[in-house]
Amino acid sequence: LTRELPELSGISRAKCSNYIGDAIDCAKLTGFQEVMLIGHIGKLVKLAGGVMNTHSRTADCRRELFCAHAALCGADPELCRALMREVSSDGCLKVLEQAGLRDVVMQSLLDAIQHVLTRRADGMRIGALLFSLEAGFLGMTSEAETLLREWRTEL
């Protein structure tokens, strides 16, 4: 990702594993003013549903979120069934790509993720950048775009 987004190479990083909600709370309590979550679609897609502990034992709603957002973007019932049969986020992305809906569904998911993050961060600026090991960079939330634009000017 640092090749595609060089402004990421100079920032401090911390891993938060599956405990994204707790990490956001800790960042806020310790005085962070800006946070960028960078993660795999299989973890961060869960944020679109308000899930803050992304371990699969706690919540594995990836297919359901892909399906719901695809339906919101005009997917027919057969496409929704195909998404529900997939076992991975990359599989869902492939189904959406074949249907010509990947970009619009990703944007819907990113908008939902931003909404959830903004509510949780309670005044702290926060955005998210999503990738897949198979598909590469998938997109970023609106606040992530703003933060990156500001960080570019600071380089």
Tell me what pLDDT residue 59 has: 87
User: What's residue 2's pLDDT?
Assistant: 56
- Give pTM, 2 decimals: 0.92
pLDDT beneath 50, residues of the chain: none
CB 116 within 8 A of CB 142: no
